[in-house]
Chains A and B, each alone.
Chain A
Amino acid sequence: MSTNNARTLRRAQAGTTEPAWVKWTLIGVVLVFVFLFLVLPLAAVFTEALRKGAGAFLEALQEPDAWSAIRLTLLTAAIAVPLNLVFGVAAAWAIAKYEFKGKAFLTTLVDLPFSVSPVVAGLVYVLMFGAHGWFGPWLQANDVKIIFAVPGIVLATIFVTFPFIARELIPLMQAQGSEEEQAALVLGATGWQTFWHVTLPNIKWGLIYGVILCNARAMGEFGAVSVVSGHIRGQTNTMPLHVEILYNEYQSVAAFAVASLLALLALVTLVIKSFVEWQFERQEKAAAHLPPERPTP
Chain B
Amino acid sequence: MHAAIALGAPARRGPKRVLPGFKVTLGFTLFYLSVIVLIPLSALVFKTFTLTWDQFVAAVSSPRVVASYQLTFGASFLAALVNAVFGLLVAWVLVRYSFPGKKIVDALVDLPFALPTAVAGISLTALLASNGWVGSLLEPYGINLAFNRNGVVIALIFIGLPFVVRTVQPVLEDAEKELEEAAASLGATRWQTFRYVIFPAIGPALLTGFAMAFARAIGEYGSVIFIAGNMPMVSEITPLIIIGKLEQYDYAGATAVAVVMLGFSFVMLLVINALQSWQRKRAGA
A120 touches B242 (CB 8 A): yes
Q: What residue of chain A has the Cβ atom nearest to residue B32's Cβ? A: A87
Q: Which residues of B contact A33 (CB under 8 A)?
A: 86, 89-90
A114-136 contact mask (Cβ, 8 Å, vs B): 1 or 0: 01111110011111101011100
Instruction: Name which of B17, B118, B126, B265 has the most chain A CB atoms within 10 A of its CB.
Output: B118
Task: Please measure, in the bound complex, the distance between the C-alpha atom of A272 and the C-alpha atom of B93, giving whole angstroms.
Answer: 23
| Stretch binding the partner chain, chosen from A58-66, A200-208, A254-262, A288-296 | A254-262
Known contacts A227-B246, A259-B122; is-contact A34 B41 (Cβ 8 Å) = no
A244 touches B119 (CB 8 A): no
Give 9 CB contacts A-B under 8 Å: A16-B190, A29-B89, A93-B21, A115-B219, A119-B258, A124-B40, A159-B36, A185-B7, A185-B19
B278 interface residue per 8 A CB criterion? no
Q: Which residues of A contact B272 (CB under 8 A)?
A: 115
B67 interface residue per 8 A CB criterion? no
- Which of these, B8, B40, B114, B115, contacts A128 with CB under 8 Å? B40
Q: Which residues of A contact B119 (CB under 8 A)?
A: 45, 220, 240, 243, 259, 262-263, 266
A87 touches B133 (CB 8 A): no
Q: Which residues of A contact B40 (CB under 8 A)?
A: 124-125, 127-128, 159
Shortest CB-to-CB span from A27 to chain B, Å, is 5
B61-98 contact mask (Cβ, 8 Å, vs A): 1 or 0: 00000000000000000000000001001101100010
Q: Which residues of B contact A262 (CB under 8 A)?
A: 115-116, 118-119
Q: What residue of chain A has the Cβ atom nearest to residue B33's Cβ? A: A109
Q: How many residues of B contact A (CB 8 A)?
A: 102
Q: Which residues of B contact A247 (CB under 8 A)?
A: 122, 226
Q: What residue of chain B has the Cβ atom nearest to residue A110's Cβ? A: B33
B251 touches A127 (CB 8 A): yes
Told that A120-B239, A182-B11, A185-B7 touch, could you supply 6 new A-B pairs with CB distance under 8 A? Answer: A14-B190, A16-B193, A44-B127, A186-B8, A226-B222, A274-B106
Known contacts A42-B111, A45-B123, A106-B29; is-contact A220 B116 (Cβ 8 Å) = yes
B115 touches A42 (CB 8 A): yes
Task: Please measure, in the bound complex, the distance between the C-alpha atom of A27 and the C-alpha atom of B92, giving whole angstroms.
Answer: 9
Task: Please measure, in the bound complex, the distance between the C-alpha atom of A78 and the C-alpha atom of B269, giving whole angstroms.
Answer: 29
A15 touches B190 (CB 8 A): yes
A91 interface residue per 8 A CB criterion? yes
B107 touches A270 (CB 8 A): yes
Q: Which residues of A contact B113 (CB under 8 A)?
A: 213, 216-217
B4 interface residue per 8 A CB criterion? yes
Q: How many residues of A contact B (CB 8 A)?
A: 104
Known contacts A87-B32, A106-B29; is-contact A120 B258 (Cβ 8 Å) = yes
- Which of these, B19, B105, B117, B243, contacts A191 with CB under 8 Å? B19
B139 interface residue per 8 A CB criterion? no
Which A residues lie at the B interface, using CB under 8 A?
A: 11-12, 14-19, 23, 26-27, 29-31, 33-34, 36-42, 44-45, 48, 83, 86-87, 90-91, 93-95, 97-100, 106, 108-113, 115-120, 123-128, 130, 132-134, 155, 158-159, 162, 178, 181-182, 185-187, 191, 194-195, 213, 216-217, 219-223, 226-227, 239-241, 243-244, 247, 252, 255-256, 259, 262-263, 265-267, 269-271, 273-274
B219 touches A98 (CB 8 A): no
Shortest CB-to-CB span from A161 to chain B, Å, is 10
B219 touches A117 (CB 8 A): yes
Shortest CB-to-CB span from B21 to chain A, Å, is 6
Q: Which residues of A contact B116 (CB under 8 A)?
A: 219-222, 239-240, 259, 262, 266
Known contacts A30-B105, A115-B219; is-contact A223 B111 (Cβ 8 Å) = no
Q: Which residues of B contact A128 (CB under 8 A)?
A: 39-40, 43
Task: Please measure, in the bound complex, the distance between the C-alpha atom of A18 and the C-alpha atom of B15, giving whole angstroms.
Answer: 49
B119-139 contact mask (Cβ, 8 Å, vs A): 1 or 0: 110111011000011100000
Q: What residue of chain A has the Cβ atom nearest to residue B30's Cβ? A: A106
